[in-house]
Structure 1
Amino acid sequence: MKTILLGPGGQLGTDIRRANEAAGSVLDIVPVGRDRLDLADFDRVRELLSTADFDVLVNCSSYHKTDEVEGNAQQAFAINAHLVALLAELAQAKSARFVHVSTDYVFGGQDKREPLDEGDARAPVNVYGASKAMGEDLARLACDNTLILRVASLFGVAGASGKGGNFVETMIRFGRERGHLRVVADQHMSPTSTQDIAAALLTMLRDEVPAGIWHVVNSGATTWHGFAEEIIRRSGTEASVEAIPSSEFPTPARRPAYSVLSNEKLAAAIGAPRPWQDALDAYLAEKGYRA
């Protein structure tokens, strides 16, 4: 399958390329990064993709700096929603499969406090989540063969583009520098390895799973405090981790109090992803933080 990959240098894009190579290049990936295409230039996007030959279009790009996005709604909806609609339209014109990466942040305002499935009503609590929710809708309207992959709380070897490293790297760095961390304990989510998302995506494309929304996250859930505790313990970092309420760590954008995603649909289709703790151990080993 000839595959155009947007966002090839980010955490997920990097691991998609790595997983594909490890699997013997089952996809013929053409990486299209910022050096080749400014995704904010819709005319150029249409020009390049309408003349390209592809079977799959994978969109790993987004405007994802959550706090910055809060004050830049117009740009957020342009990149996270209207660009997505254009990409889906171009995929539809090629009779290609469109894969769009979304987020657990389409949730947060709901009353439900048990793992959320693909059919649960969305309730974003910030601009980023609202723009991604709109992107999901526009993608599915524009392309019949759309896969929406909702992911969450990512960690991957490439680090988080524009964020100064992912949460794992940040906790280890701050733990070493400060010896004491204060982390919110009232926000529940699903820590997820981009390596495992990449592996799942290859299988989903190979097995031609049905179009629609899929929660692609590691098994299990925790809070940011619980995640930080395991990072510090499993990496052998000498630091303590104090639990605090989110009210003691105010941010421009509100975060979901609960956005744990159920991966039961994915498990039934291709098998359950491993627990997030096992994925964290593998990540730490690869990065040299543990034997």
Structure 2
Amino acid sequence: MTSAASDSARGAAAEPLRVLVTGAGGMLAHDLVPRLRAAGHQVTAFSRADLDVTDPAECIAGVAGHDLVINAAAHTAVDAAETEEGVAFSVNAVGAANLARACTHAGARMVQISTDYVFDGMATEPYAVDHPIAPHSAYGRTKAAGEWAVQALCADHWIVRTAWLYGHGGPNFVSTMLRLAGERETLSVVDDQRGQPTSTVDLADLLLRLVEADAPSGTYHGTSSGETTWWGFARAVFEESGLDPERVQPTTTDAFPRPAPRPAYSVLSHSSLVTATVTPIGDWRSGLSAHLQHIKGGQPRT
């Protein structure tokens, strides 16, 4: 990267950036793109139809002229990836590698969105960013490969791992619980997996803070503070919606076998954000409350 290009890519706090967001049809981009634009940045939002991240030439052409690329394109069908690992790898690993090379070629910085699935899910305390990765699923393996590719091919990068995402821009756990609440008298939800429910609005705001703080290149964790289980999360959805939480009954992961193994523990540490003086996302329950309040009002959260 030339000095001039590096200065341009690092000038977020001083002047608007030319930002490319991939995966524009996804849930995160639904909230991220308008926030970047509201902050004064010039945003190009590319969906899968606009940019094939598995094509190196398309990535070179698409990234040209941008200061920053936020890669939200991903194959996120966790169970399908168990039998379609090659397909998932082409997007999550090869796609990330193509964009990383293109960023280096253009002198742009890169944000790679990653996941808690890169860890083994067996910890008993929050995972630090430098904890050894040991994915137990095809999805986790392909996302881990994407992290390695970005680290190797684009020195000027941020890797941001997130988990348990929900938002207005796509199907998610919260919308599923609200739908099932209208269809069933009681629900059974697993109570032996712990994590940090995270709103796409809150993650989008964190990404904006990370970029505009000109945080050091490296890995960060973009999840809400606090922790709960899927059962606790579901009960909170009911409580915040004025429904009886006792309708949600606890069960075990073994009662709901799935093709891909689910991490029993997905709590991520935010210490690297604190070190970089970037404020982590607040408590998960507050984020959920804000999300549901906006659903009740018929308006997306702003």
For normalisation by structure 2, the TM-score amounts to 0.89
Query: CA offsets per residue over residues 160-218 of structure 1, 9 Å max, x none?
Result: xxxxx100000111111102110111111111111111111111111110111100111
Unaligned stretches of 5+ residues in structure 1: 160-164
Q: CA deviation at 1:119?
A: 1.1
Alignment of 1:277 with 2:290, yes or no, is no
- 2:51 maps to 37
- 1:105 maps to 117
Change (3 A) 1:252 1:213: same
- 1:214 maps to 220
Q: How does 1:1-291 map to 2 (within 5 A)?
A: 1-23=17-39, 25=40, 27-40=41-54, 42-46=55-59, 48-49=61-62, 52-110=64-122, 112-159=123-170, 165-238=171-244, 240-268=247-275, 269-288=277-296
Change (3 A) 1:35 1:78: closer
For normalisation by structure 1, the TM-score amounts to 0.92
1:227 partner amino acid: F
Query: Which stretch has the larger CA shift, 248-257 or 267-276?
Result: 267-276
Q: CA deviation at 1:108?
A: 2.6
Give the Cα separation in 2 of the matches to 1:22 and 1:280. Answer: 23
Residue aligned with 1:177, SS: coil
Query: CA offsets per residue over residues 80-100 of structure 1, 9 Å max, x none?
Result: 111111110110111110111
1:93 partner amino acid: H
Give the Cα separation in 1 of the matches to 2:100 and 2:292. Answer: 36
Query: CA offsets per residue over residues 240-291 of structure 1, 9 Å max, x none?
Result: 111111000000111001111111221342123210000000100111179x
Change (3 A) 1:107 1:15: same
Give the Cα separation in 2 of the matches to 1:85 and 1:38. Answer: 13
1:75 partner amino acid: V
Contact 1:59 1:99 in 2 (8 A): yes
Contact 1:70 1:126 in 2 (8 A): yes
Contact 1:80 1:131 in 2 (8 A): yes
Change (3 A) 1:47 1:96: closer
Give the Cα separation in 1 of the matches to 2:249 and 2:218. Answer: 40
After superposition, the CA RMSD in angstroms is 1.8
1:280 partner amino acid: L
Q: CA deviation at 1:44?
A: 4.9
Report the identity percentage: 36
Contact 1:38 1:44 in 2 (8 A): no
Q: How many residues align?
A: 281
Give the Cα separation in 2 of the matches to 1:211 and 1:43. Answer: 24
1:284 partner amino acid: L
Give the Cα separation in 2 of the matches to 1:188 and 1:109. Answer: 9
